[in-house]
Amino acid sequence: MELDQLRQQALAELNAVEDEAGLRSWNSHYLGKSGALTQALKRVGQLPPEERPGYGQQVNALKEALLAAYERKKQQLHEQEIARSLAAQALDVTLPGRPVLRGRLHPATQVMRDILAIFAELGFQVYRSREVEDDLTNFELLNMPPHHPARDLWDTFHTTTPGILLRTHTSPGQIHVMRQYCPRPIRVVLPGMCYRYEQITARSEIQFQQVEGLAIGESISLADLIGTLQTFAQRFFGGQRRLRIRNSYFPFTEPSVEVDVDCILCQAGSAADTRAAEPSGPSSPCTLCKGTGWLEILGAGMVHPVVLRNGGYDPDRFQGFAFGMGPQRMAMLKYAIHDIRLFWGNDLRFLEQF
Ligand code: FA5
């Protein structure tokens, strides 16, 4: 009778339990070491011997029943807790996801890839050459011995190691590639960064890219150079821009030329008599062409016999043409960019336009 009461009371209390703390307290009250069931078992010693086994069995059966009820309640509370937390932090699967910001290629990289793709179609392979050069390769082997006045054309960043400098142009790559492939014919482009210690303006940076071109063979002429450059310009500018080829001077080519493209910003180069186009004075608004209507994009020429010999080729048997173009200047002329400093300024308003 006493055990029946205990069962009813325990189950009623368990039923009223609402949380885990209540469940723990119920457990220690009924099933714990000094709980009600342990106390009930201890009373077995006070009973007459013949009643003890029956009483003991009843206490054990009650213990098992309460344990089972306890486990059920525990599971029930656990499920309630999960349902409550799900309701509190409802997950709306219909909400649109957070947009992932996608990067893009830097305009300088895009233009560089466009240039290399066109030269690949013309049969030119890419050759990578070092940015930290020695004086010998950057100047001397290109027919500019020490104290040669032409060295002044390239204001140079020297390192603290004597004779080691940041290359001022990609032309020293000509020597590397010639010495590697001599005496085979060559048709390569050499892209990369160049450095010059000069004043930064809207059209000149201290750090800029160049793409050098070099073709060496046994029957190469100036006509091949002009044809290659015209074909390239036609493909790069899509026929939108005009070319002007002028004679020039470089110590490592003979004869030498420079190529200009008509200015996209002011279009002054498209005037009827382009040869007469002169700087239009300090009032000119065009930062790109300084009012001349033209912007120089590259230097070129037939490889000088001294350079051919320094590269290992016999100048009596081989000829070659070379050019060095400025991709930043070309991008300015293609996309109407008014200031070269935008390329390395890291301004997203500029970069996101490409
Ligand atoms: C040279 O650097 C020669 N090595 C080019 C060459 C190669 C001639 C092979 C003959 C044979 P130049 O200094 O003119 O030449 O530069 C070539 C091109 O690089 C320029 O037409 C221009 O497009 C670009 N460039 C030169 N200086 C800068 C600068 N400071 N900022 C941006 N682009 C520049």
* 304 within ligand 1 shell (Cβ under 6 A): no
Q: Give the pair of three-digit tokens for residue 46.
A: 């006070």
Nearest CA to ligand 1 atom 28: 204
Q: What is the pLDDT of residue 254?
A: 97
Q: What is the pLDDT of residue 354?
A: 92
Compute the distance between CA of residue 35 and CA of residue 28 in angstroms, rounded to an integer. 6
Q: What is the pLDDT of residue 239?
A: 84
pLDDT tens per residue across all 354 residues of the chain: 588 999 999 999 999 999 999 999 999 999 999 999 988 888 888 889 998 899 989 999 999 999 999 999 999 999 999 988 888 888 788 888 889 988 899 999 999 999 999 999 999 999 999 999 999 999 999 999 988 888 888 899 999 999 999 999 999 999 999 999 999 999 999 999 999 999 999 999 999 999 999 999 999 999 999 999 999 999 999 988 889 999 999 999 999 999 999 988 887 655 533 333 344 444 556 888 888 899 999 999 999 999 999 999 999 999 999 999 999 999 999 999 999 999 999 999 999 999
| Number of separate domains in the chain | 2
Q: Is the pTM of this model over 0.85?
A: no
| Domain around 83 | 2-88
Cis previous bond, 285, omega within 30: no
Please, which residues have CB within 8 angstroms of residue 338's CB and are 6 or more apart in sequence?
Answer: 202, 265, 287, 288, 332
Compute the distance between CA of residue 22 and CA of residue 13 in angstroms, rounded to an integer. 10
Domain match, 242 and 287 both: yes
Please, which residues have CB within 8 angstroms of residue 233's CB and are 6 or more apart in sequence?
Answer: 241, 243, 259, 261
Report in angstroms the alpha-carbon separations of 136 from 176, 189, 207, 256. 12, 21, 21, 22
Domain match, 43 and 112 both: no
* 292 within ligand 1 shell (Cβ under 6 A): no
Domain match, 23 and 146 both: no
Compute the distance between CA of residue 299 and CA of residue 246 in angstroms, rounded to an integer. 10
Domain match, 61 and 117 both: no
Compute the distance between CA of residue 4 and CA of residue 15 in angstroms, rounded to an integer. 16
Q: What angle do CA 264, 269, 273 make, to 5 degrees?
A: 160
Domain match, 76 and 164 both: no
From the CA of 153, how far away is ligand 1's center (Å)?
A: 10
Q: What is the pLDDT of residue 220?
A: 97
What spatial distance separates the first Cα and last Cα of the chain, rounded to whole Å? 89
Domain match, 255 and 288 both: yes
Indicate the residue among 58, 88, 118 that finishes a domain: 88
Out of 167, 177, 178, 208, mutate this one to test ligand 1's pocket (max ligand atoms within 8 Å of CB): namely 208
CA 311 to chain CA centroid, Å, is 35
* 260 within ligand 1 shell (Cβ under 6 A): no
Q: What is the pLDDT of residue 240?
A: 83
Domain match, 197 and 344 both: yes
Domain match, 189 and 258 both: yes
Domain match, 69 and 143 both: no
Residue type at position 50: E
CA 315 to chain CA centroid, Å, is 43
Domain match, 175 and 227 both: yes
Compute the distance between CA of residue 203 and CA of residue 165 in angstroms, rounded to an integer. 23
What is the domain-level CATH number for residue 232? Answer: 3.30.930.10
If we measure between CA atoms, which residue out of 329, 336, 337, 178 comes closest to residue 260? Answer: 329
Domain match, 47 and 156 both: no
Out of 157, 226, 298, mutate this one to test ligand 1's pocket (max ligand atoms within 8 Å of CB): namely 298
101 within domain boundaries = no
If we measure between CA atoms, which residue out of 100, 106, 108, 98 comes closest to residue 348? Answer: 106
